[in-house]
Chains A and B, each alone.
Chain A
Amino acid sequence: MAIVQNATVPELTAAGALPEAPSRSLGRAVRRYGPIAIGAVLALAMIVMAAGAPLIAPLSPSAQFGDAVLKGPGAVERHALGTDEFGRDILSRIIWGARVSLQVGLASVIFGFALGVPLGIVAGVQGGWIETGVMRCADMLMAFPTLLLALIIVTALGGSLPNEILAIGVALTPNFVRLSRSLALTIREQDYIVAARALGSGQLRVMARHVFPNALYALVVVATLYIATAIRTEAGLSFLGLGIPPPTPSWGNILSEGRQYIKCCPWITTFSGLAIMLAVLAFNLVGDALRDLLDPRLRGE
């Protein structure tokens, strides 16, 4: 849980730190900050849902109601989104499933960030054989698409929450290495780096105090987008049956189990898939809006 709470910080401060829009142009403000507001609210809602699952979920996710097997949404008043083949409440399972998706989404991005960014900055600033070595390794991992690499790792280690985090985190790492290296390459040529060096800063100090803070904003923007990727990848792994094994609910395994019943009971797959889409959408919206603010050239204004 601590992981979830910590990881909300960058995205919230970024959203909260936006300057006030001029009141004379309400339309423009809505256009400009609408997407990020929707995304932030949606993302926050998902996080609250995950953190407060025991309080929010109307029923236990594992309770089996023998009198309500495969009932449609609202058919039994107790089950707003219907039940599955064991008579378990879909709504409660989806609310609990948010935990898996968000924990994996946030923790794997933090993992990839913490591993990839230092490597990338060292490679970019230091250059030489260190750069060659780090980048060759990154290129090698980049030859695999994210899902494929995560699939290989999680197959080898077995499906569990820490293994999924590790697998997706490692799969995301080369992206962070590449980005932070290219940022470091630009930053190291700046005058303030020369100034810092002239003042006697060592290599490590330059990296930690000057290069890293200047690369941070761009890195956080991209990290937000990778949360979306991580959530989608986790859902894909669970859907393939390689994620958290049932009965622990995750959106992917609810959807995967519901596949057998699409003929009679399409609500199982429909609602669990909708949850995946909304969560991915939320982080995509926030990341996109942050990126537009970062790179005004691509903005439509």
Chain B
Amino acid sequence: MLQYVLRRILVAVPMLLGAMSIVFFAMRVLPGDPCVAMMGDQATTEALADCTKNLGLNRPLAVQYVDYLWRSVRFDFGSSFRQGYPVSEYIARMFPHTLVLVTASAIVAALVGIPIGIVSALKRRSPLIDYPLRIFALLGLSMPVFWLGILLLIVFSLRLDLFPLIGGGDLDGAIHMIRTGEVFTNPGDFLAAVGDVLHHLTLPAVALGFTLAATVSRLSRSAMLEVISQDYIRTARAKGQGERTVVYKHALRNMMVPLLTIIGLFVAIALTGTVLTETVFTRPGLGKMLVDAIGARDYPLAQGAITVFTMIIIAVNLGVDMLYAVVDPRVTYR
């Protein structure tokens, strides 16, 4: 087991390194000078040269590259060109917002997607049930999350005035209260902050969750179909067990194994989804930070954001591989 874990981690390292190199070099061939983007066209040549020197952009590319890799290993992504804060601080501030969004939409996606997938698989011979469910899944899969988000905003924020148009709520405040222990001394304020966060979270989570639900429902449909065609299901039926027992005792439990492996895929899709969702709902988060950083030619910030995204995806996949081995004893570590 330990050997397997070490081996997987060793494989992940060059992957991460490669991914980071792609990001670094892509950012360097960008059109547009970050100093010009910061200071405007009016800046004097001396001021620009000064700025380039301060940002370390006058060093040879190879030196910048090695420096970037070495710092990244220590989670030091440099300082944002624009704001001057360390990038890691920025990421730490944005991460909770994205985490909350991904978690909430994962809950929506699981609650909607898994039952739909199961029912659709079990009732696949009755078109009246299977068809509408499959159409629903197909619509969710085809609907861009940013469009669904805008439709929700038009109806629920602008027309009905039920939810806020922009922002992520007072998440920082809530986290601060947990840190300082104010949760216990002032529970009312804490609940208000949490309520505010949920209020801001509802529409984005529904939008992202719905588009993810489509993927989840399809994957759980095919996982269920896979399981239901196995010999042990036939055996259970042949024993004379009722359909309910067959589904609950034999099928569902085994379905969870193939479903587990898609968590990695799911996180990748959800993280990409946050880039678009956070932009539509003007929510703070890693995705919005990345888009803004690209727009502002803020290399370190964009690099840091993408590196963190990639790290999360590689780490999740690694974790899933190991979890898979734990859940399904038939999997051997090689």
Contacts and interface: CB of A to CB of B under 8 A. Distances in A.
Nearest to A235: B144
A239 B29 CA distance: 23
A31 interface: yes
Contacts of A259: 150, 280
A263 B158 contact: yes
A255 B229 contact: no
Given A276-B147, A281-B138, A155 B294 contact: yes
Contact of A262 (B141, B153, B302, B309): B153
Contacts of A269: 147, 150-151, 154
Contacts of A240: 275-276, 279, 291
A122 to B, nearest CB: 20
Interface string A30-73: 01000000000000000000000000000000000000000000
Contacts of B127: 31, 300
A12 B6 CA distance: 49
Interface size class of B (residues with CB under 8 A): 35 or more
Contact of B15 (A140, A239, A255, A284): A140
B259 interface: no
A155 B26 contact: yes
B144 A276 contact: yes
Given A145-B272, A255-B147, A259-B150, A277 B26 contact: no
A273 B150 contact: yes
B22 A152 contact: yes
Interface in A234-289: 235-236, 239-242, 255, 259, 262-263, 266, 269-270, 273-274, 276-278, 280-281, 284-285, 288
B306 A148 contact: yes
Contacts of B26: 152-153, 155-156
Nearest to B153: A262
A193 B127 CA distance: 41
> Chain B: interface secondary structure?
helix
Interface string B170-194: 0000000000000000000000000
A300 B130 contact: yes
A298 B229 CA distance: 10
B18 A262 contact: no
A282 to B, nearest CB: 9
B299 to A, nearest CB: 11
B51 interface: no
Contacts of B313: 143-145
B144 A266 contact: no
Given A136-B14, A158-B31, A239 B143 contact: no
B39 interface: no
A297 interface: yes
B275 A285 contact: no
A300 B125 contact: yes
Contacts, number: 125
A297 B229 contact: yes
Interface string A144-174: 1111100111011110000000000000000
Contacts of A239: 144, 146, 276, 279
A235 to B, nearest CB: 6
A36 to B, nearest CB: 12
Contact of A140 (B18, B146, B268, B295): B18
A274 B142 CA distance: 10
> Chain A: interface secondary structure?
helix
Interface string A119-134: 0000000000000000
Contacts of B30: 155-156
A162 to B, nearest CB: 15
Nearest to B12: A143
A273 B151 contact: yes
B261 interface: no
A178 to B, nearest CB: 13
A228 interface: yes
B146 A255 contact: yes
B23 to A, nearest CB: 6
Nearest to B293: A155
B147 A273 contact: yes
Given A145-B269, A158-B31, A300 B124 contact: yes
Given A153-B26, A298-B222, A143 B272 contact: no
Contacts of A148: 271-272, 275, 306, 309
A277 B150 CA distance: 14
A79 interface: no
8 contacts: A137-B18, A145-B272, A269-B151, A276-B144, A276-B147, A277-B147, A281-B139, A285-B138
Given A241-B295, A259-B150, 19 more contacts: A137-B18, A144-B310, A145-B272, A145-B313, A147-B275, A153-B26, A155-B294, A155-B302, A156-B26, A156-B29, A239-B276, A240-B276, A240-B279, A270-B151, A273-B146, A277-B143, A280-B141, A284-B141, A297-B225
Interface of B: 14-16, 18-19, 22-23, 26-27, 29-31, 124-125, 127, 130-131, 138-139, 141-144, 146-147, 150-151, 153-154, 158, 222, 225, 229, 268-269, 271-272, 275-276, 279-280, 291, 294-295, 302, 306, 309-310, 313-314
Listed from nearest, the 9 A-B pairs whose CB atoms lie closest are A273-B147, A300-B124, A140-B18, A281-B142, A156-B26, A145-B272, A280-B142, A147-B272, A145-B268
